[in-house]
Structure 1
């Protein structure tokens, strides 16, 4: 533990981070550790008034930040990365406890957050526009300028990554940010970032952190001082945000969920495929927007795959992720578990076969395998967001593509098979924003565009080369030596 811990608890507990300091909130809510039921602290709950006040502070601070030399903005991002790295173990354990993840999951979030800040530090130093062809005597420029204030709404499952991947590039490119993390994970999704950027010397007001419910989110989405919203979460909430933002003529970046298909061809190695499936479907209890929701397996290899997955499901330990003794931790809360459990039960009633799992102790749900899953069953048609392998069989490549595309879109897809050309040909036909050959669906390297069509989002993407497009807008500028004579 560092002599100067990132999470000092008392001064942060039950507080918003506004105008560069932690401020006690009038309304708070207990934050509970999913694995133990232990109270971790209090979460500040913002209402519309608090959100509007924070937006005003962000709006007032933004112009000076946009005018700050790019090297100085870059330096702040690098110092934030250093702050996160210096408190790596502390942050990783806090994330594991608050999200119900295993410690390596918390370490992954901290590691990626460091890289995201480092990548963002390079954005201010890239070309910010183009010189356009024009008439002689006129300089014509297309430049990228910040939106102003960017509203970020982040979820509970990977709260640090899914918050900072918007916060860091938006700040680097000259915007101010108002962040609304999920109230179930206020430290992972808010406090860690607030402290890191404060220690990095980010001027007050440029990052405002206010957890809250729908009232706070709606105030953020509808406020005219916030021209862009970046949201990660469920398709249902994404639709609502899209409707509100559209009504107010705002730019939105929606990263949602949908059906992610993992296709296993008949020439695949059963052991390698089963390992990939297990990770893609069960890592972090399947509470991942890229989780391998549907596993489409050629009928010739289906029995071998099923047998191996049942073996893994039977032996993988489930419990307190922070203990370092388990492979799967608890689900985030009882509401999430009950929804997932009902999907499993309904799918079995609809004709699927329960091969393994299907039970839980507290919030710890055993890794589950269903076979005989078909279109029309809940587990096929809906995103389970739990530790579930849905085995769907097919006979031909054409049938695999048809089954996979029987959805409203998704973020990720994967194809496993020894014939890479064949696997790639199938992958290119899948309706997904990201496609992986000989891998599972849970992949992100920070340097890649991340997004998907349909229920995957609004077709937009964040990450890597997409960030400048997302967090700035075009402005056309022309310059003449002197005003010309006009015929009026």
Structure 2
């Protein structure tokens, strides 16, 4: 039985209600523009109601026994498993996901949920010594209260769940705002699955609305203590400014201009396989996608030849086809943006070694050689299936390229000498980097996040527990203290 029928409304205080804004959100299949559903958008009044509902629910949810919170998180996990195929179908038709990507997104989400189920019993406080005689210092870890979460359209289910399930497991309540392109997989499916899991009313709320209608208000609202945002760097900077003025906490996972470095001694065949995955998974619409392929000049000809051979084998088309690995971009505007940077880079001297065509939101892969780091296709985050290859002469030059942009999310370096790779990786200013692998990695127990324009804060494991809770120091004076000379 389909569980996602009728979830085309706002979800506030456990009720599915029509939004009160005049704006209509049209949810369309990016491959063929088929209308999936329409949602009457949320207004600022709806956002206010959702936050006040979450604030009231926080009073009891923050005091809930840890085993009860863990039970509901585990129920949420099971609800996803039970409805996996329906969720995959929605990821394919709403987000343009290939089946491989959709299945991977489900698996990553399930890993995060299992990790989060342990969080209620990992909110450790501690007792420490004092410089004052007969005093005891106790440090308690508490939920923050209400959190506002804004999620993107590229991995909508995973990147919403990452913040939502963690917040809830730690005793917080949430209001979730998805990207307008993916309201079901980015929010409303999650609300429904938590409803099935038995989550009390008001703990998880979802508002679907245009950023122009509710975006700034959602961030500036007085109730949420933390804003979690995953998306582009320009939008993230604005959110940082708005939230900073209100002295809110922030967890911002933003864009990336990730380098993939193949050194002189790299295993070319393995490097090519890794680069194909890291560049073209989900059409390159991943914050961790390879943006610049940086190859030593001594192996560049071989690398380019084999990379083009691999690119030619990728099937492009309707993601409903299980053989398709490259589906549509989220909309045709993204194609236009990328093609503009592509043409400017070709005009500047980049050589097209494999040319793809564009048809609406469908963009076939393109491979460029002899790209320089200042060309638009290298300097800008691509977020699409264009692979720019930059040749380098020395490792120092490669390191300069790796650190040249105002991003630092992920990276990769290929070499047969692991220690040399480790030395290089440690000098790259990035939150994550992988030796002899590709750039698209996420594991639920290791810190996920970036440096510079790629954001602030870390997700996963103990790192996200720190981000999504607060600590309180309470001291106990067991015997009377000497206050001389005052008393």
- Alignment map for 1:106-121 (pairs within 5 Å): 106-121=102-117
Instruction: Pick from 115, 122, 129 the counterpart of residue 126 of structure 1.
Output: 122
Q: What is the match of residue 443 of structure 2? A: 445
Distance 2:465 2:443 in 1: 17
Residue 127 of structure 1 deviates from its aligned partner by 4.3
Contact preservation (8 Å) 1:263, 1:295: yes
Residue pair 2:134, 2:479 contacting (<8 A) in 1 also: no
- Displacement after TM superposition at 1:47 (Å): 2.4
Q: Which deviates the most, 28-37 or 56-65? A: 28-37
Q: Per-residue CA shift, 1:98-122, capped at 9, x if unaligned?
A: 1101012111222222221221110
Give the secondary structure class of the aligned counterpart of 1:376.
coil
Alignment of 1:247-286 (within 5 A): 247-286=245-284
Alignment of 1:18 with 2:12, yes or no, is yes
Q: What are the equivalent positions in structure 2 for 1:43-442 lying under 5 Å apart?
A: 43-134=39-130, 135-214=132-211, 215-442=213-440
Deviation of the 1:225 alpha carbon: 0.8
- 4+ long deviations beyond 4 Å: 481-488
Find the residue that maps to 1:428 and give its secondary structure: helix
Partner-residue secondary structure (3-state), 2:406: coil
C-alpha distance in 1, partners of 2:418/2:113?
A: 35
Q: Is contact 1:131–1:142 with CA below 8 Å preserved after alignment?
A: yes
Q: Kindly provide the CA deviation profile for residues 316-344 of structure 1, in whole angstroms up to 9, marking residues without a partner as x.
A: 11111122121100000111121112111
Mapped contact 1:48–1:219 kept (Cα < 8 A) = yes
Shift of residue 373, structure 1, vs aligned partner = 1.1
- Contact 1:354–1:370 under 8 Å retained in 2: yes
Contact preservation (8 Å) 2:296, 2:391: yes
Using the size of structure 1 for normalisation, the TM-score is 0.96
Worse-matched range after superposition: 135-144 or 100-109: 135-144
Offset, 1:169: 0.9
Distance apart, 1:482 and its partner CA: 7.2
Query: In structure 1, how many angstroms separate the alpha carbons of the residues matched to 2:305 and 2:482?
Result: 82
Report the number of matched residues.
Answer: 481
Distance 2:128 2:478 in 1: 17
Q: 2: distance between equivalents of 1:335 and 1:359?
A: 15
Inter-partner Cα distance in structure 2 for 1:302 and 1:292:
17
Which residue of structure 2 lines up, in the alignment, with residue 40 of structure 1? Answer: 36
Deviates more, 1:209-218 or 1:434-443: 209-218
Secondary structure of the equivalent of 1:479?
Answer: strand
**Shift in alpha-carbon separation, 1:433–1:90, aligned structure 2, 3 A:** same
Distance 1:119 1:62 in 2: 22
**Residues 81 and 115 of structure 1 are in contact (CA less than 8 Å); yes or no, is this contact kept in structure 2?**
no
2-side partners of 1:133 and 1:478: how far apart? 10
The answer (yes or no) to whether the contact 2:47–2:207 under 8 Å persists in 1 is yes
Q: Give TM-score, length-normalised by structure 2.
A: 0.96
List runs of 5+ in structure 1 lacking aligned partners. Answer: none
Whole-angstrom CA distance in 2 between matches of 1:67 and 1:105? 38
2: distance between equivalents of 1:223 and 1:29? Answer: 23
Distance, in Å, in 2 between the alignment partners of 1:212 and 1:238 is 18
Of 473-482 and 177-186, more deviation after overlay is shown by 473-482
Cα distance per residue 1:268-309 (max 9 Å; x no partner): 122211111111111100000000101100000101111112
Displacement, 1:142? Answer: 1.3
Report if aligned partners of 2:256, 2:407 keep a CA contact under 8 Å in 1. yes
Q: Unpaired runs of 5+ in structure 2?
A: none
**What's the CA shift for 1:484?**
5.7
Measure how far apart 1:313 and its partner are: 2.3
Post-superposition offset of 1:207 = 0.7
Task: Write the distance in 1 (CA, Å) between the matches of 2:108 and 2:416.
Answer: 31
Moved more, 449-458 or 127-136: 127-136
Could you tell me whether the CA contact under 8 Å between 1:99 and 1:185 is conserved in 2? yes
Change (3 A) 1:472 1:32: same
Supply the distance in 2 between the matched residues of 1:485 and 1:428 (Cα, whole angstroms).
51
